[in-house]
Amino acid sequence: MPPKKKKEEKLRIVTPSGKRDQSFFDLVYEVVRQIPYGRITSYGAVAACLGAKSSARMVGWAMNGSHRVRPKVPAHRVVNRNGMLSGKFHFGTPTAMENLLKKEGIQVKDDRVIDFKKLFWDPADELGV
DNA sequence: ACGCTGACTATTA
DNA sequence: CTAATAGCCAGCG
C-alpha cells in the first residue's frame, strides 16, 4: 500500500485558524474569483455585494486566508477604495502583488493603481445583484 | 471569557 | 490635500 501522506489537506475554505467554514469568507472567495483578468475591485465593493458594505474589514481578513484556499484566489486583484495596494505586504514578497498586476496590464505607480476607476470591476454588476 | 488587532471605509476638521 | 475618529465584526492570546 501506498504509503501515504496526505494529511487532511482536503480542507476547502478555511478560516485563518484552519477550520472549515462556509460563512462570509467562502462568499468572498467566490466573488473574488469572478474578477476577470486585468480587472480589479475593492474590499468594500465585495462586501457590499454580500450585503455587508460596512464589513469591508472582514473581506480583507478573508483575503488573509485566501492563500490556502483552492482554487487559488486572485487576491492581488483586490485593492482598497483608493486603488492602493494595501495588501502587498501579505503576499510572499512586498513586490509580488504589484508584479502580478503589472503582468496583467495594470499600471501601478507608487503602490497605487493607475486608472483604478476605469479598471474597477463591480461584482454586483456582473453577478446581477 | 475579555480585549486587542486588523489586506477597510466614510466623515469631519 | 492630510490627519484623526468612529463603525464594523471575526480571530486569537
Q: Does any domain span residue A129?
A: no
Does the pLDDT of residue A1 top 70, yes or no? Answer: no
- CA→C1' distance for A3 and C7 (Å): 53
> Range of A109's domain?
24-118
Nearest nt (C1') to A57 (CA)?
B8
Supply angle C-alpha A127, A103, A122, rounded to 5: 20
Please check whether residue A59 lies inside any domain of the structure: yes
Comparing A16 with A120, the larger pLDDT belongs to: A120
Give the E-state strand segments of chain A in sequence order: 41-42, 78-79, 108-109, 112-113
Say yes or no to pLDDT of A13 above 50: yes
pTM recorded for the entire structure: 0.85
How many CA atoms within 13 Å lie on the side-chain side of A84? 5
Q: What Å value separates CA A45 and C1' B9?
A: 11
Better-scored residue on pLDDT, A74 or A18: A74
Mean per-residue pLDDT of chain A: 83
A82 CB inside 7 Å of strand C: no
Is A106 within a domain?
Answer: yes
pLDDT digits (tens, 9 = 90+) for A55-86: 899 999 999 989 888 788 999 999 999 999 99
Domain membership flag for residue A16: no
Domain count, chain A: 1
Instruction: Show which positions of strand C are touched by protein (CB under 7 A).
Output: 7-12
Q: Is residue A2 part of a domain?
A: no
